[in-house]
Amino acid sequence: MNTLPGPLGNARPLSAEGAPMIDPFGRAVTYLRVSVTDRCDFRCTYCMAENMTFLPKKDLLTLEELNRLCSAFIAKGVRKLRLTGGEPLVRKNIMHLIRELGRHIDTGALEELTLTTNGSQLARHAEELYACGVRRINVSLDTLDPDKFRTITRWGDFSKVMEGIDAARKAGLKIKLNAVALKDFNQHEIPDMLRFAHGLGMDMTVIETMPMGEIEEDRTDRYLPLSELRADLERQFTLIDIPYRTGGPARYVEVAETGGRLGFITPMTHNFCESCNRVRLTCTGTLYMCLGQNDAADLRTALRASEDDALLSQAIDEAILRKPKGHDFIIDRNHNRPAVARHMSVTGG
């Protein structure tokens, strides 16, 4: 683990000369999501088992290695970088990595550095995140009811998340709330969450639950198609389709009554694979070309084989050429095992 406050390794800001990486289906890969840790201080019931076995710390890439890998992708045309987990802000000394990656914002090589967080650590990091070049974050929040919040997260403290959101807003960070739509849990609360978010100038996105990793409950009991949720919302709100995009898979509407934006991420009922511009890097240096497929590339070996990036660049190119057309997520009573065995926290949300 890196404990030094100075620059991480020999990685340095690169010029924005990298041509986009093109996959076999003509899609430009310009968006990298990096899971900096598989650990989290919550145990959300649809995401993790309560008694998780996490990776040994010795198996994780160092912060220096993560910086070098991210810099290599930026040199090859990645323009948006999102840090995820687990919970990224529980990784020791994570702000040193974020500070280093922020230098690519300063040079213009990277257009956006963002973060997905559960909000638990935001109160103490929000100002520094802004100082490092982060301007927009996603906060995962599935309910505004403190008791239900404790139930769904098992370990979470709702008041700390609210303090984190407040600190982020005061620091100047734009916030989007991400809510997983769960049948018989929060489906009737979504309108109030929408009003809450838009009342504070925050966007909101709702997400279908995905069959990743073994958990205690049956996902078919919680699965809520967003087509059904949208129909319910349209009884209360006027939803106007808009072309707004953030680089991710959400399709957005404007809510006439609030003036805010609402996104829908529908990997189950309407996949977004035809426009996929993303690949995902784990904290061990494994690259997944698709969230819903098991094919992966080992970049750690290439990273550690040489101090220059020639082998690493070649390994990345070979991986992009294996990016599949789409995923095969299914949730029904006949497919109640996960589509992929790894938990979402391994790949990054």
Which residue ranges make up the annotated binding site for [4Fe-4S] cluster?
A: 40, 44, 47, 273, 276, 290
Three-state SS for the chain is CCCCCCCCCCCCCCCCCCCCEECCCCCEECEEEEECCCCCCCCCCCCCCCCCCCCCHHHCCCHHHHHHHHHHHHHCCCCEEEEECCCHHHCCCHHHHHHHHHHHHHHCCCCEEEEEECCCCHHHHHHHHHHCCCCEEEEECCCCCHHHHHHHHCCCCHHHHHHHHHHHHHHCCEEEEEEEEECCCCCCCHHHHHHHHHHCCCEEEEEECCCECCCCCCHHHCECCHHHHHHHHCCCCCEEECCCCCCCCCEEEEECCCCCEEEEECCCCCCCHHHCCEEEECCCCEEECCCCCCCEEECHHHHHHCCCCHHHHHHHHHHHCCCCCCCCCCCCCCCCCCCECCCHHHHCC
Q: Residues annotated as binding site?
A: 33, 40, 44, 46-47, 82, 86, 116, 140, 176, 210, 273, 276, 278-280, 290
Q: Residues annotated as binding site for GTP?
A: 33, 82, 116, 176, 278-280
Q: Residues annotated as binding site for S-adenosyl-L-methionine?
A: 46, 86, 140, 210
